[in-house]
Amino acid sequence: MKLSTRTRYGVRAALELAANQSKGPVQIKTIAHRQDISIKYLEQLMAILKSAGLVRSIRGAKGGYILAKPANQIKLSDVFNALEGPVTTVECLENKNYCARVTDCVTRQVWAEVQQAIMSVLQSMTLQDLINRTKDKKTLNYQI
Amino acid sequence: MKLSTRTRYGVRAALELAANQSKGPVQIKTIAHRQDISIKYLEQLMAILKSAGLVRSIRGAKGGYILAKPANQIKLSDVFNALEGPVTTVECLENKNYCARVTDCVTRQVWAEVQQAIMSVLQSMTLQDLINRTKDKKTLNYQI
DNA sequence: AGTATTCCTACCTTATTAGTAGTATATTAT
DNA sequence: ATAATATACTACTAATAAGGTAGGAATACT
Ligand code: FES
Ligand code: FES
C-alpha cells in the first residue's frame, strides 16, 4: 500500500504554491525544477488540481499557478482526493450495488474503518499547517 | 488507494479457516468454491500466508489448511502485512537513506501518521472478532 | 510580432496485479 | 503396491495501472 508519485508530487507542488502565496504565480517549470519532477508530467498533475478547484492558472507570459484558496483552507485530504482518487479500500464502500451481501458483510466494516482513519488524519491538516512546520520558510524542506 | 484482491481474498480465506477451526483442515478447493476464487490463485495466496506463519498446511488426501494459531491471536494486520506487504506510504519510512532531507521533511511526518492510523485499526481486530460479528456463524456473510 | 506560458490529447514504456498451467511431492485409503 | 487426493513449486501469460514523453494549439504579456 504505497502512495503514488502523483500524490507525492502533487503535495509538493501544492506546498510550493502555498509557500509563494504572496509572491504571485509560480510556473510549472519552476516547481518542476525545484522539486525535480518532469515538466510534462507535472503539467498533467496541475491540471488535475485545477479541475478539483484547488489551484487557479494564469496563462501566457508571466503566468503560472496560484492556490485557489488561502493555504489554511486547503486540507491535505483535498489534495489527496484529487490525485489519488477517493480512498476507497473496497469498491462497495462507494458503490453499494457492487457486492451482493453488503448489508451484513463483516469485512466491509473493517475497510470502512480503515478508510475513515486515513481520512481523519488528512482532514486535520492544511497546507498552511505544513508550511508552519518548516523552520526556514524560504527553503522548503521536503522531498519524495 | 485500493485494496488488492490478494488481501481481500486472503482475508476471506483466513476467515473461512477461522470459522472451521474446530472442524479440521479445509481444502483450498473448498474455500475457492465457497468464496468464488480461482483455485490456482488461492493456492499461491495460501502459500504466502503459510510462509508468514499464519496457517499450517496438511498435505495429501484429507489434507488442507488450518490456522497456525487460535483465531483470537491473529490480527488483521498480520494478514494484511503478509499479503499487501508492509503499509509503507512512502519509502523513506522504512528506509531512512531513501530521501536526502529526511530529518526535517514535513510531509514525511504526515505519511507516518497516516500509516500509523491504518495500522492501529488493523491491529485492533482479530479474525475471531470478525467471526463474532457474524450473526449466523454457519454461513459467513462476507464477500469481496 | 514574438515570446512565454498553460492547455489538450495522444502515445509509449514499465511495473504490478491477477490469473493460468503443468508437474512434482506427500499422505491417506483401499 | 496402487490409486486418489492434497499441497508445493515454478514458470508463464494477460490485463491494468502507473509513470512519463511528445507535439502542437491557445492565450496573454511585452
Ligand atoms: S460486501 Fe463488499 S466488501 Fe463485503
Ligand atoms: S524525506 Fe522522504 S518523504 Fe520527505
Q: What is the pLDDT of residues B16-33, one digit of tens each?
A: 999 999 999 999 999 999
Instruction: Flag whether A143 is in a domain.
Output: no
Residue B103's pLDDT is 56
**Mean pLDDT to the nearest integer, A134-143:** 55
Instruction: Flag whether A112 is in a domain.
Output: yes
Residue B72's pLDDT is 96
Query: CA B76, CA B31: separation in Å to the nearest integer?
Result: 19
For A26-43, how does the pLDDT look when each residue is reduced to its tens digit (9 = 90+)? Answer: 999 999 999 889 999 999
Residue A18's pLDDT is 95
Please provide residue B9's backbone torsions phi and psi, each rounded to the nearest 5 degrees: -60, -45
DSSP-assigned beta bridge partners for residue A75: A126
For A3-27, how does the pLDDT look when each residue is reduced to its tens digit (9 = 90+)? Answer: 899 999 999 999 999 999 999 999 9
Containing structural domain, residue B54? 5-133
Q: CA B99, B103, B105, B107: dihedral to nearest 10 degrees?
A: 90
Please determine, for residue A106, whether its predicted confidence score (pLDDT) is greater than 60. Answer: yes
CB within 8 A of B90, min separation 6: which ones?
A2, A3, A8, A144, B107, B108, B111
| Residue nearest the C1' of D18 (CA based) | A4
| Residue nearest the C1' of C2 (CA based) | A61
Instruction: Flag whether A93 is in a domain.
Output: yes
- Number of structural domains chain B divides into: 1
Residue B102's pLDDT is 59
Instruction: Flag whether B143 is in a domain.
Output: no
DSSP-assigned beta bridge partners for residue B64: B58
Instruction: Flag whether B139 is in a domain.
Output: no
**Shortest CA–C1' contact from A25: which nucleotide?**
C5
Contact B143 A2 (CB under 8 A): no
Instruction: Flag whether A14 is in a domain.
Output: yes
Chain D nucleotides close to protein (CB under 7 A) are 3-11, 18-23, 26-30
For B63-80, how does the pLDDT look when each residue is reduced to its tens digit (9 = 90+)? Answer: 999 999 999 999 999 999
The model's pTM: 0.87
Supply the CATH number for residue B10's domain. Answer: 1.10.10.10
Q: Which residue of chain A comes nearest to B135, CA vs CA?
A: A104
